[in-house]
């Protein structure tokens, strides 16, 4: 059985029966059989399905949002915003697919030569709990509009969200087999990846889990897109607008209770402004307190699970033992199943967990840089490369540094990192490979076929 537990109360919500091998095989076969008819539909028809789904999400965003809030502790207002973003993305792909998938003519010696884009087949999406709707729909948009079918293996603690997604597509009349939800744990995932009816995999999650998925997929020569961990560096140069920088850092670090791959995690601050920055950051972090995520006034909910909270607290304590200084937070509150307070560590140096590891929760780390060159060096001194930001009043110079000096999949200047359907999203190094969203995400799960006519 798969049990869904409310992380704020610690109480069980519902138990789900895990799919048997027979049921898994049936879902795989339905997805495989649905591919031909779905891909043969005119693109305008598939776009119509996506638009209807977007309308459904907006109409039912309060109900769907409540499921996410109950299952993983996200503040209800953030759950609703997440669903609105999903609807925008589905509409975006419905509107842009004809352009993105249009054949590209190439001038050669042939009488006609062009590049044609066709679906790969069935894509398995292995998705995490932190954005239980966004992670799925941002993959679903380009996968389905391209003519692929999709199977979802969602995180076990958000099975209610997974079933809510399946219900949404059923209510919108999607043909049987175009999308299905696998109620399985990680123990059965390898079997699904290996199944010949699965043609490609998209995975979002930890770097360690991503390596395991990639290894199995590689054994069977299957295309993968991996969006993994991150330890985003936010560089605060000495000429930065501190009020702007602090607001962006605190907002990014505390969004979704800090449980985001692209949250601001390492604040790298020029030593000349470090003391002032720390004072302002602590005030901004302490102004936000955790509360019942179901209340519309709550801005910080609980973490998704108590074991994740305990792991984060251990990272904080081990960093302090190695010399980091605790400026605020850093304790486990009594009587709250998985809550953790906004926390700030300073004096963070190489060799500490807060420097080397991803801290997946509401903990900000401050690293002091000697100068601009040192700040860039520290930003790049990580195994990760998902996102980053740089703050400076010299926008031209900051843009040059963002473009040429910082090694990551995206860099924002004077703003915090976030995903947008119109822009490619993904990382380098241990943060994964491939891209989601935009034109580039559309091209990940199609066969880029050359046609040459003499």
The reported pLDDT for the residue numbered 65 is: 98
Q: Where are the beta strands (DSSP E) in 205-321?
A: 223-227, 232-236, 264-270
The reported pLDDT for the residue numbered 186 is: 86
* Bridge partners (DSSP) listed for residue 447: 118
What is the third-level CATH fold of 232-413? Aldehyde Dehydrogenase; Chain A, domain 2 (3.40.309)
State in words which class domain 2-228+429-453 has: alpha beta
Structure tokens at 117: 């884009």
Instruction: Please enumerate in sequence order all residues whose Cβ is within 8 A of that of 367, keeping only pairs 6 or more positions apart, or say none.
Output: 266, 267, 268, 269, 348, 349, 355, 378
Residue tagged active-site, from 227, 278, 357, 372:
227
Catalytic site includes residue 118: no
Angle at CA 104, nearest 5°, toward 98 and 106?
170
DSSP-assigned letters across all residues of 346-403: ES--TTSHHHHS---SSEEEEEEESSHHHHHHHHH-SS--SEEEEE-S-HHHHHHHHH
**Is-contact 309 338, C-beta < 8 A?**
yes
The reported pLDDT for the residue numbered 211 is: 97
**CA dist., res. 327 & res. 281, Å (int):** 10
Residues of the chain with CATH 3.40.605.10: 2-228+429-453
As a residue count, the chain comes to: 454
**Is-contact 213 191, C-beta < 8 A?**
no
Identify the three-state secondary structure at position 231: coil
Q: Where are the beta strands (DSSP E) in 252-342?
A: 264-270, 325-328
Instruction: Please enumerate in sequence order all residues whose Cβ is within 8 A of that of 42, keeping only pairs 6 or more positions apart, or say none.
Output: none
Per-residue confidence of the chain (454 residues) as pLDDT tens digits?
999 999 999 999 999 999 999 999 999 999 999 999 999 999 999 999 999 999 999 999 999 999 999 999 999 999 999 999 999 999 999 999 999 999 999 999 999 999 999 999 999 999 999 999 999 999 999 999 999 999 999 999 999 999 999 999 999 999 999 999 999 998 899 999 999 999 999 999 999 999 999 999 999 999 999 999 999 999 999 999 999 999 999 999 999 999 999 999 999 999 999 999 999 999 999 999 889 999 999 999 999 999 999 999 999 999 999 999 999 999 999 877 899 999 999 999 999 999 999 999 999 999 999 999 999 999 999 999 999 999 999 999 999 999 999 999 999 999 999 999 999 999 999 999 999 999 999 999 999 999 999 9
Q: In 3D, which of 155, 205, 144, 220 has the Cα closest to residue 184?
A: 155
Residue tagged active-site, from 86, 161, 249, 261:
261
Residues of the chain with CATH 3.40.309.10: 232-413
Catalytic site includes residue 227: yes
**CA dist., res. 262 & res. 254, Å (int):** 11
């Amino acid at each position: 059985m798969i049990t869904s537990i409310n992380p704020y109360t610690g109480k069980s919500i519902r138990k789900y029966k895990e799919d048997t091998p027979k049921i898994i095989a049936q879902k795989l076969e339905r997805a495989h059989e649905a591919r031909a008819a779905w891909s043969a539909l005119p693109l305008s028809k598939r776009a119509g399905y996506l638009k209807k789904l977007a309308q459904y999400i907006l109409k039912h965003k309060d109900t769907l949002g409540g499921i996410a809030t109950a299952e993983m502790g996200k503040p209800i207002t953030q759950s609703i915003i997440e669903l609105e973003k999903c609807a925008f993305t589905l509409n975006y792909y419905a509107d842009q697919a004809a352009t993105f998938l249009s054949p590209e003519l190439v001038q050669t010696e042939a009488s006609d030569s062009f590049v044609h884009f066709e679906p790969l087949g069935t894509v398995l999406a292995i998705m995490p709990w932190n954005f239980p709707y966004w992670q799925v729909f941002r993959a679903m948009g380009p996968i389905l509009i391209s003519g692929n079918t999709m199977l979802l293996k969602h995180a076990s603690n958000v099975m209610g969200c997974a079933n809510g997604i399946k219900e949404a597509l059923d209510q919108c009349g999607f043909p049987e087999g175009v999308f299905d939800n696998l109620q399985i744990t990680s123990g059965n995932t390898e079997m699904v990846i290996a199944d010949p009816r699965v043609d490609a995999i998209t995975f979002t999650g930890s770097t360690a889990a991503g390596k395991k998925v990639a290894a199995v997929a590689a054994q069977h020569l299957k295309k993968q897109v991996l969006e993994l961990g991150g330890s985003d560096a936010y560089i605060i140069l000495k000429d930065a607008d501190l009020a702007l920088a602090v607001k962006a850092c605190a907002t990014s670090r505390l969004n979704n209770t800090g449980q985001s791959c692209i949250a601001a995690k390492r604040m790298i601050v020029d030593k000349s402004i470090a003391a002032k920055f720390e004072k302002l950051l602590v005030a901004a972090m302490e102004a936000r307190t955790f509360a019942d995520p179901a209340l519309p006034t709550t801005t910080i909910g609980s973490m998704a699970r108590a074991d994740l909270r305990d792991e984060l607290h251990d990272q904080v304590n081990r960093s302090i033992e190695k010399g980091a200084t605790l400026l605020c937070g850093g304790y486990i509150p009594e009587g709250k199943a998985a809550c953790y307070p906004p926390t700030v560590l300073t004096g963070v140096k190489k060799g500490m967990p807060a420097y080397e590891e991803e801290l997946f929760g509401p903990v900000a780390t401050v690293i002091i840089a000697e100068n601009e060159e040192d700040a860039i060096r520290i930003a790049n001194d990580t195994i990760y490369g998902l996102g980053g930001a740089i703050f400076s009043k010299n926008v031209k110079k900051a843009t040059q540094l963002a473009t040429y000096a910082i090694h990551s999949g995206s860099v924002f200047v004077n703003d915090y990192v976030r995903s947008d359907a119109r822009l490619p999203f993904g990382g380098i190094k241990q943060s994964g490979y491939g891209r989601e969203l935009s034109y580039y995400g559309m091209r990940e799960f199609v066969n880029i076929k050359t046609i040459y006519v003499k």
